Structure 1
Amino acid sequence: MSSIKSTISILLLAVLFNSCSTTQKIEALKPLPSDDTPMVYKTKTSFVNMPLEITLKEIENQLNKTLAGEIYNDSNLEDDNTEMKITKTAPIRLVEKNGKIETILPLKIWSKFKYGTDFMGLNDTREINLNGTFTLISDVKLSNWKMSTTSKIEDFNWSESPSILVAGRNVPITYIINPTLSIFKAKVAKKIDDAIENSCDFKPYVLDVLEKMSTPFLTSEQYQTWFKLIPVEVYVTDAVLDKSEIKMDLGLKCNMQTMVGLKPKNNFDKTAIEFKAVTRVPDKVTANVAAISTYESAAQLITANFKGKEFAAGSRKIVVQNVGLWQRDGKIIIALDMTGSINGTIYLSGIPNYNTVTKEIYFEQMDYVLNTKGILTRTANWLLQGVILKKIQENCRYSIKENLEDGKKSLLPYLNNFSPMKGVFVNGTMNDFEFEKVEVTDKAIIAFITTTGKMSVKIDGMD
């Protein structure tokens, strides 16, 4: 009897020892407690094509802000017997004319001129005030985001014929004024060209737009998922004047990142972005984004698959009550809490993959975690070597269809009349997502997906 008791005691101690050893080894597989550090997943470089339209009205508005009040001042009377100040009296108007810009510039001209002869001091000066309109014709070029023009004064018309009172008589002086103005035609045209170049440098506006688009925004409140666009390079073609709009193609090379946790910082750096002039930009958007499944959310979805299901082989049967997931060494550990013929937890490992038809994440090369030995292994052999394991494996999957939709929704704000700043509007379309690959991290399973589409940007009504 004592020997039987001793044998039973040894067996009990062996079972206890194996149980404790199993617990320690399985616990070692579990990840460290998660923290709130944002996770960054870098996808392949994305390319965004955005044909850009700038209305002539917008250029007109910017030009009127630059050219306000006095636009010309010649205070030297001695060099050509004329002083002149030119002031803009009404807004400048721009219209397209045969592929060029016609500028209509209403002006008020104050002039002092000296006439007569210096012989014995027989000369005099007179001041006149004139109102008229200059008409300029400009060739247009936009290179590296800056619009430039080469303008010529085509005509100038007075609101009323200039005249001056001399010796009691109204003496027309158009013949004096017009040749004098001719001297300054090139100077006035140059003033207009300089003003257009200074007011129509759109690079700062583009950088402001990119900074706004780079601000991370929340795509999933439940999982605290953030989407962030990081510009790398900007390409632009030379512009063309088409009726009432300046048109060019803009290309944006960027990275798209998805982060989980606290809101990431916007590390946008204007100085780090390269601007490159090109002759052609591809006409579509290629976006690479990441659909994230945290282990907690994936485990909940897989647990739901097992609800109400019983797995049996002969007289033995089990029911999976709960599923846990984490990663270890590039594989996913699947913890299955069971009741029935096995009361406890078994651990499987597998490699995640993607079913393009069902849009599900499933696990390949599924196997039992064999770093536990003893009573659990011996008892579970019937489960692990038969058809039951295959049935369990079939249920260890979950759909990321909602993740894909969330990924698509994360880009939609950029496509539906998105206005990152006043007067700038972004519109576009997007095709369905295509799966690329699955990766695992310490916090999530990530499905990398791609899509294509089109975008356009219109500038009209900026401050």
Structure 2
Amino acid sequence: MKTSLLLIFIVVAVFVTSCSSSKMIQTLKPEADLAAPIIYDKELSYLNIPISIKLKDVAYQTNTILNGLIYEDSVLEDDNLMMKVWKQAPIEITDENGKIKVVLPLKIWTKVRYGGNVFGMNLYDTRELNLNGVVTLLGEAKLKNWQLTAASSVQTVIWKESPSVTIAGKSVPITYLINPAMAYFKSTIEKKIDAAIAKSLNFQEYVLDALNEVSKPVNIHQGYDTWFKIKPIVLNATEAVLKKDVVSMNLELACFMETFIGEPANDNISKEKIQLKLVDKMKDKFTASLIVVSPYLKASEIITKNFQNQEFGSGSKKVTIQKVDLWHKNGKVVIALTMQGSVNGIVYLSGIPKYNAEEELIYFDDLNYVLETKSTLMKTANWLVGGLILKKMQTYTSYSIKPELELAKNQITQYLNNYSPAKGILINGKVEPIVIKNIQLTDQALVATISTTGKLDLKINGLQ
């Protein structure tokens, strides 16, 4: 009987002792709430778009536009001459000392009336002639209202045979009849050549179609449903330059470069809204606003590992952290710590996420126990509320987002490394170090807004 009483006493003593050294606490869980939509400042980026158009491509387009009969004068009475002019062979367009040189082979049919009124008698006769000639024009490449104009002027007209008719067995020159008609002919040819070249080099649709391709959203991380998008705003241009049979100019696109969680709208560029402005100088850098996503689940896993093999306590009273969970609450992050040791249960901290640029760490500023948690601990385990313990815990709640920053940089670098959204369009560039601007909270993740600068070239090749 005494033995039984002794055993009961020992069991009760152990139970009492264990209860006094290890407490189970019940704290009220701060429930997650909805975060406000993310809004961040956007900065204009400036993208360089060098455009090179070979004159042989211009010639191809001009020959397609200008074909067959290009001039006709069907009235004989006004100047004793009727004329039809056809393009006889393909037009050649080359560079001559920085000017556009156009060589136009022509086939000409004329009907010439010669003779006169002698003693009241009409002694006229008519002859039909077929002539071959070559007209050479020169013009300067000028950029105006989305078009390159040549402002061509006829320099020479060279006939393979001198215009003449045979009368009474003799060759009689009729240049005096042909040349006056050529004045009208020259003006018409100049206008037609300029119109054809302008139509060939109207690059509005050509450029805007390319920009539409460039501005389509690109999925840069499927796991986090993260998208990159360029939104064009203004297009600037330098004056066109002709050199070595190539017309070149620089376009500068002012745009927003952004990343989104969730696919953004794919808005086509409005021709009416994108204005082309001539400028003397281009900016040589872009600034892009991007985002880095750090999901709470991922952060929880990292911080849980940070706490492994770490003890927190005072004297003989100690706890270890078994699990860490994070979520959003009232503009702060709640950090739930599942404890084991002198205290068992879950305690809740809250803090404001900040970024340490030197160490590339997310840390929680103003970290403290949630009010209800603090009240409970003051009653049951007030030693846990000590500043030294909380400060030590704050060290282990910080975590690195260097992998996410590297991922963001790699993603934008891939976009800038021979990226071709469509045939004839090639994007290349480089970025400089990334800077964290701010950190905002969503229901599922910490979102860091980052800023980066760099250089970008968008090449549009060919003229199709």
Q: Give the counterpart of 1:31 among 33, 38, 50.
A: 33
Change (3 A) 1:305 1:244: farther
8 Å CA contact 2:361, 2:401 repeated in 1: yes
Q: Compared with structure 1, are the counterparts of its residues 175 and 389 closer, same or farther at alpha carbon in structure 2 (3 Å cutoff)? A: same
Q: Are 1:331 and 2:332 counterparts?
A: yes
Quick one: which amino acid aligns to residue 258 of structure 2? Q
Aligned to 1:48: 46
CA distance 1:259–1:47, change in 2 (3 Å): closer
TM-score of the pair, normalised by structure 2: 0.82
Contact kept, 8 Å, 2:80 with 2:177, in 1: the verdict is no
Secondary structure of the structure 2 residue equivalent to 1:201: coil
CA distance in 1, matches of 2:290, 2:241: 34
* Aligned equivalent of 2:359: 358
Q: Partner of 2:368 in structure 1? A: 367
Provide the secondary structure at the position in 1 that maps to 2:392: helix
Q: How does 1:227-376 map to 2 (within 5 A)?
A: 227-261=228-262, 263-270=263-270, 271-372=272-373, 375-376=376-377
CA 1:164–1:268: 2 relative to 1, 3 Å: same
Structure 2 residue matching 1:347: 3-state secondary structure = strand
Aligned pairs for 1:149-298 (under 5 A) are: 149-159=150-160, 176-261=177-262, 263-270=263-270, 271-298=272-299
Residues 340/193 of structure 1: CA separation in 2 closer, same or farther (3 Å cut): same
Change (3 A) 1:135 1:368: same
What letter matches 1:56 in structure 2?
K
Distance 2:166 2:343 in 1: 118
| 2:33 counterpart letter in structure 1 | P
8 A Cα contact 1:108 1:129, kept in partner: yes
- Code of the residue aligned with 1:237 in structure 2: it is T
Match of 1:86, SS? strand
Q: Residue 416 of structure 1 corresponds to which residue in structure 2? A: 417
Distance 1:42 1:375, change over 3 A: closer
**SS where residue 150 of structure 1 aligns?**
coil
Q: CA deviation at 1:159?
A: 4.9
Q: What amino acid is the match of 1:330?
A: G
Q: Is the 8 A contact 1:43 1:448 kept in 2?
A: no
Q: 1:333-386, CA deviations, whole angstroms, 9 ceiling, x for partnerless residues?
A: 222233333332222111222122222222211111113465455445323314
**Structure 2 residue aligned with 1:66:** 65
TM-aligned CA deviation for residue 266 of structure 1: 0.7
Q: Distance in 2 between matches of 1:461 and 1:290?
A: 35
Residues of 1 paired with 2:425 and 2:166: CA distance?
Answer: 54
Of residues 251-260 and 170-179 in structure 1, the stretch that sits farther from structure 2 once superposed is 170-179
- Give the conservation status (yes or no) of the 8 Å contact 1:53–1:247: yes
Residues 311 and 151 of structure 1, relative CA distance in 2, 3 Å threshold: same
State how 1:106-185 maps to structure 2 within 5 Å. Answer: 106-117=105-116, 122-159=123-160, 176-185=177-186
Partner of 1:3: none
Question: In 2 relative to 1, CA 363–199 (structure 1 residues): closer, same or farther, beyond 3 Å?
Answer: same
Return the offset for 1:47: 1.9
2:53 partner letter: T
Structure 1: give runs of 5+ residues left out of the alignment: 1-14
* Aligned counterpart, 2:83: 84
User: Which ranges in structure 2 are unaligned for 5 or more consecutive residues?
Assistant: 1-22
In the alignment, which residue of structure 2 is the partner of 1:9? none
Q: With the length of structure 1 as denominator, give the TM-score of the two structures.
A: 0.82
Q: Please state whether the residue corresponding to 1:256 is helix, strand or coil.
A: strand
CA RMSD, Structure 1 to Structure 2 (Å): 3.3
Q: 1:145 to 1:169 in 2, by over 3 A?
A: same
Match of 2:3 in 1: none
Count of aligned residue pairs for this structure pair: 438
Are residues 252 and 140 of structure 1, via their aligned partners in 2, closer, same or farther at CA, if it must alter by over 3 Å?
same
